[in-house]
Every structure is written in C-alpha cells, then in structure tokens.
Chains A and B, each alone.
Chain A
Amino acid sequence: MFKIKLKLCSCLILVFMAGCTQAPKPSNKILLWHWMTDRNDTFLKLAQQYQKETGIQVTVELFAPSDSYSQKIIAAAQASVLPDIYGILDKKTIASDFIQAGFVADLTGDMQANGEAWENSLFDKALADKRFDTNNTYGVKAGIYGVPIDVSNEQMIYNKKLLSKAGIKTPPLTFDEFIKDAQALRRVGVTPFVSGWGELWLLDCFASNYAFNIMGEEKVFDTFRGKVKYTDPDWIKVLNVFVELRDKGVLIDGIVTKGNKYSEQDFALERAAFAFNGSWCVNVYHDMNPDLDYGVIPPPPISTAYPLKIWGSAGSTFVVNAASPNKDKAIAFLKWLTAAQQQAVLARETNNLPSNKEALSTISPILGEFAKGMDQSTHPNMWPLNEDPSVSEVFDRGIQAIIIGEKTPEQVAQEVQIIKDRQMAKGN
C-alpha cells in the first residue's frame, strides 16, 4: 500500500513541476490585457498588422466582464505580474495608487516629444482621464500616464418617429419643454424616457449634469470638500428634478432596477421616445434595429445660471507597466494604435468615437452628433477632487428612493449629509 502511495506522490510532484511556468524575459513580444469584448476582433486584426509592419508580436488577451478584469488587475499588481499594457478601470484614486506603487509608466516625455506631437493629436479631454495636474490632491507627480484609445460621452437620445407621432417638431431645448414633450408623448401612449438607472453610475451622471447646471461646478466641488452641505437649497433643487420627472410621468416603469443593456433594448425596440445613454449605444442600436431614426441632444438644462455639462472623456485608456522590460516597445505600439489610420479602423469597425482628432472626419453622422457634445463635456476624472464613494452611494440610492416615492428630497439630503459628516470626521 505504501508503495502505491509513494508512486502516487512522485507522480504528483512530477506533474507539479511540469506545470511550472518560466519568468518573462525582454523580447520582441508585448502582452496586452483588455476587457472590451466588442473590440477583441479588431484588436487581433490590428495586432497582426503591427507584427507585419514592425516584427513585434502583440499578444492580445481578453478578460471580461469589466468587474472580473478589475479584480484580475488588482491581483496581478499584488503579485507583480502585470502585463506590458493594461487598463485601470477604477476611480482615479486607485489609479494614483497604482502609479505610486510603480506599476504605471510616466508617458509625459513621449507625449511631449517632437513639439508635443503625440499629445496634440489626441483630444485634451480624452488625455485628462489619466492626466494629473500640478498640485493634484492625489499626491502624484504631474504628467500624463495613460493613452486614450477612444472617446465617449453620455447624452440624451430621441426617437424622431415617436416624437413626430406626438406632434413634437423639434427636440426640447429646456427642461420645461422636455416635461411638456413628455406629457404629449404620454397622451399618445408612448413612454417618454428610459435609462439604465439600475446602474448607479449612470444615475449619478445624470444628477451630476443637473447639479453643475443648477449651482455651477465650484459649488459642487466645495460640497465634496465639505464646505457646502447637501441640505443646501441648491442640492434640494437637484433632487427635485427627479421629483418632477416622477410626478409628470416621464420615467419608464421599473427604471430603478433596469440595467443599461435592457434600457438599450427598450430604446432600440422603440418602446420609449427619449433615452439617456453613452455614445457606445450607436453600436448596439445598429445591431438591434438598423432602421432606427434617432438624434442626439444634451440633457435639456433646467437653469440658465450655469452651463449644463455632460460627462465625456476617454472611453477606454491603456497604461504601460513601468516595471516591464518591454516598456518602450509597448509605448511605440500605443502610439501606433492611436495614429489616425488605426483610429479610423477602430471607429469604423466598433462604432466608437476616436481619440485622435484627425480620425474624426471618418465617423458616421450619428456619431458626429455625439462628438459635438465634447465641447461642453466634463468628467469626474478631470475634477480636482471626487466625492467619497460611501457618500455617493447613499446619494444615488437616495435618488432611487425619491423616484419610487419612498423619500422626499429633504430626507435624502439629511441622510447624505450624515454620512458625509461621518466620512469627513474620519479624515477621508
């Protein structure tokens, strides 16, 4: 019996050793990990093309969905086995931690070489995603740390056919017009508005757009700093936007449990006249309903005091592993990937806005409408500071509670302020 055990053990050890992998050496190969399922085919094609042109082999590996990807990146960082090129999907504070831990290469030098050639070819707002200004609150040395490969923004989309069915000739330019349009739509039996507000970030985006419109960005930042309270009348006004939307019957049923995928389905199948979604929706609508006739507008402002700014920035950004022996080759590849020609390929095949300014002329008309909004866009990644995520969570949940009629804006504001006070006391 013991002999059998011994044989089993030695077999196990042999198999164990056979399963060992070897440590990576600098070579003509670079490894890229990404999460963008839609673009995997295009990336593979471009990688092949790059190999033909330069002889460098780019291995593209896909890990989806994005939650699993984030986990893998964090785990790989802990084990110091990050690939040459990867993405950091989390908030800017996490990105700053990656940079300080030495996992992200500083690309400022490459970006600003040759009279800032690379930097100027890309949209400023796209670069802002992984750019840190001087004296930033994250404690990171100022510079550009990531390469945006596309741009996206979130705006309102309207179905031209359904609007004309309700007798609406032009899309609304103010919030009041929007409410009136919604009521006209209800009268002809059309649901006015759909959005994936089961996903808190999208709800937060919509609320933030109106917060900037009502009180201006400085006051919003001051609230994050703790200088202004959430019980301030301006914040109540922001929350009242949702009361208005609820009371005037604008929102589709079940909006607070609706994932964005389902809201895209709804709009594509013409179940609602307006939607709030990101520019990637062009790809989705095209697949589901190629005949869909729609246009793009920013969310109609409720106030004339401050401009309404939509959220727009890099859709996806790649960073280079600072500890990689193939750093320079990786940077060269990313430069190639964001050149106008490759950007045009990506834009054409995946229906996403390019990050290269030159490639803008190659995009479809509907994407062009999305692109127009980039001028009045902002993004949490560009702000001097962001709200504590524990506070944002309570804020967003509070909006959901308002929408289902469970709480009033005043109640929500008080609850949020309590959490804010607690977090500020912690020294966060």
Chain B
Amino acid sequence: MKTSLLRNIFWKRFKRNKIAVIGAIIVFLLFIIAMFAPLFSPYNQNDIDRNHILEPPSFKHPFGTDDLGRDVFSRMLYGARTSLLVGFVAVGISTIIGIFFGSIAGYYGGWTDRIIMRFIDIMLTIPTFFLILAVIAFIGPGIWNIMVVIGLTSWMGVARLVRAEFLSLKEREFVLAAKAIGVSDKRIIFKHILINSLAPVFVSAVLGIAGAVLLESGLSFLGLGVQPPTPTWGNILTLGKDNIEIAWWLSVFPGFAILLTVLGYNLLGEGIRDAFDPRLWEAEQG
C-alpha cells in the first residue's frame, strides 16, 4: 500500500481497456510527429517545385505533391504541429474560462449562479461555427486569432460540468467539515472541491481537443483558418477539393489524418473517463 495507489488503480484500469490504449498510442505518435517534424520530413514543407506538380504518391514523394509541387508528406507533418497547437491552446483557454465561471456559479449559487447560467444559455444559442466565422471576418484569419476565438466560444460545456460537480461536492461532508474548521472560501474551492472535480474536466478537455482540431480544419478548409503557406490539414484538403478528379491523394491523406486524430483523442478521453470512474474503484479494491 503506497501513496500512489490511486494512480496505480488508474493505470491498471486504463491498460486493460485496449481501445483506450490504441487511442493513447495514436495521440502519442501525433506528439512525436509534431515534435520531430523537421527530422522526419524529406523536403522543406514550403519548397515549390514547378517540375513535379500534382504527382501521385511515389518513393520520392510518399503522399504525392500538390499543385505547386510541394511535398504533401512534409506538409502533413508540419500540419500535425498546427493542429496540435490549436487543439491544446484553444482547449486550454476554454478550460480555464469554464473552470472559473463554473466554480463561481456552483460554489456561490443564488444570483451569481443565475446570471452566469443564463449567460451560458445565451452563448449556447449562438451557433459556434458561424459566430467564429463572423468574428474571424472582423479580426482577420490567423493561427492565434483562431485559437483564441475557438477558446472563447467553447467554454460553456466545461463551465456547466464544473458547476454540476461543485453543486454536488459542496454539500459533501468533507467540505462542510472544512467550513467548520474555518478554511477560507478560496482554499475550499481549490483544495477541497476543484481538485475532486478535475477528472471529468480533464476528460472533457481531451475530448474538447478533438472538437478544436476539427473546427480548425474546417476553418482552414474554408480559407478562414490558418493562412497559407503555413501548412495545415485543412488547407491541404482545400487543394484536394479543387483537384479532386485528378489528385485523390490531396484529399485522402489529410482527411485520414484528421479522422485518426479526432478518433485518437476521443478514444483516449473515453478511456480516461472509464478509468477515473470512482464507482468502479471500490469494487476494484474489494
């Protein structure tokens, strides 16, 4: 019986879930690819080669070339960087905002809660994608704008989740005991309640990354996301759409990459959720 017992049980449960492990492997590989993109890529991702336009996959160009003769494989590797960056930063922003509003609403209740929740309801009535399009139309496309805008428009789910956790946890006896001891509100919120509600927040963040990656690809596909020549899977797909009849490789590879990424994060997120489920823990120790 060591102090890290909680972690041990988590790992034991997680490892047993094969599909979750596959998700973890996919996500891990994406990290490696993104981190070492310069090492893996055979060409500079932006080098134009007018003599080899729209070439199908070959040994020289494993994923073929695009309409400017750029190596699609190299561009895809760098695209992984973009999607990872956008996913993490956007979800980071939305999670922090969500935790902030959710914990205030849940802990203090009353009018604070009502105002925040109605504001969230209003935010949820606006279709996120079109809101993002409208905002981008004003402030202009660009990778940082995209990340911030996605973050600012997708925190409502986290806020609701955190609020629900707070509502149930703040009535729990250990929180009442902390109040009886005279622990400050701030410390109760962080040390006693928030830390016990992080598991579902973490799961929703992992699942949220999948959503953010998809959103970024969609925006880039429409030309409103990350701007060329910076490679992203979304803007490679755009080229694929333009040349769909003659260059299948421009659509298939980035499309597959997006699918794999979203799948990977979803499997990982669900695996973590199952492994975290405390109801199954007690039985585990039996």
* A and B held together in a complex: no
